[in-house]
Amino acid sequence: MGMFDGKKGLITGVFNKQSIAWAIADRIMQEGGECGFSHMPDKPDDTRKKNLRRLEKLTDGNPKVKFVQPMDVTNDEHLTALMDRCKSELGQVDFLLHSIAFALPSDLKDDTIATSRDGFKLAMEISAYSLIALANAAQDVLSDNASVLTLTYFGGEKTVPGYNVMGVCKAALDSIVKYLAHDLGPRGIRVNALSAGPMQTISGRGAGVEEMLGLYEGMAPLGRNITHEEAGNSGAFLLSEMSSGITGEIMHLDGGYNSMGAPGRLIDRFKEAQAAC
């Protein structure tokens, strides 16, 4: 018997096989859960429908996948249509995964102080407010005692140069998690965030993940980086009844990196490098 047998839910934001959202969804379906998926709409002139095709490569033929639907999180009509699809295909849903973030490349490349006004508004709406919009739209389809999970990063808690405006958005997202946990708590609905360390994902590569991987490996108490399998396991745990007493929590999955106040064993590598010069 699987951990998600008889459970149904909505997964947003899967881009490709390397997406953390896919690692979580895949584990849920392995454990018996049924999922509906939303994806970023393709542009009207994109006859190849690249966003849809990427997702269908992962979902086609899987009996646990109940539907795939485009959804622009800045469009309330899209949100309403998605929830109507959930009602018709799934009925009440037991879990909801929010994995949506975006900032203009020009704003990500620039120092935070140079963030454009319009770019800031766009990044905050898609990367932070979208959790409020999605949770609000889903209230009628979320079952009592359901679980809501979003994906965040340590750059919302501490300054991570290069993460820039997205770090500001993640700080807002972390706060939203706690306020939504309060709002939805009377129904037993839990709201949490998974804060994963750097991984080889589309968003990770955009934030300079290669440099961060070496830093985490050197500093983290476990002396290594996390895996997609671990991200899938941790996300599935937070969306399951196994975490029924946890809400308003930012759970770190980073080998313990966030607990360090000094370079730790990384300093030994530095000393060895100096000695070799």
- Where in the sequence numbering do the catalytic residues fall? 153, 163
**Contacts for 35 with CB less than 8 Å, ≥ 6 apart:** 8, 9, 10, 11, 25, 28, 29, 64, 65, 66
Rounded CA-CA distance 17/14 in Å is 8
Rounded CA-CA distance 251/184 in Å is 19
CB atoms within 10 A of CB 19: 25
Rounded CA-CA distance 125/128 in Å is 6
Rounded CA-CA distance 161/43 in Å is 32
Taking CA 36 as the corner, what is the angle to CA 228 and CA 77, rounded to the nearest 5 degrees? 120
Q: Give the torsion through C-alpha atoms of 216, 219, 221, 225, to 10 deg.
A: 20
Taking CA 72 as the corner, what is the angle to CA 111 and CA 179, rounded to the nearest 5 degrees? 70
- The tokens for 188 are 């037993």
**Contacts for 136 with CB less than 8 Å, ≥ 6 apart:** none
Q: Directed axis angle between helix 165-184 and helix 117-124, to 10°? A: 40
Rounded CA-CA distance 240/138 in Å is 18
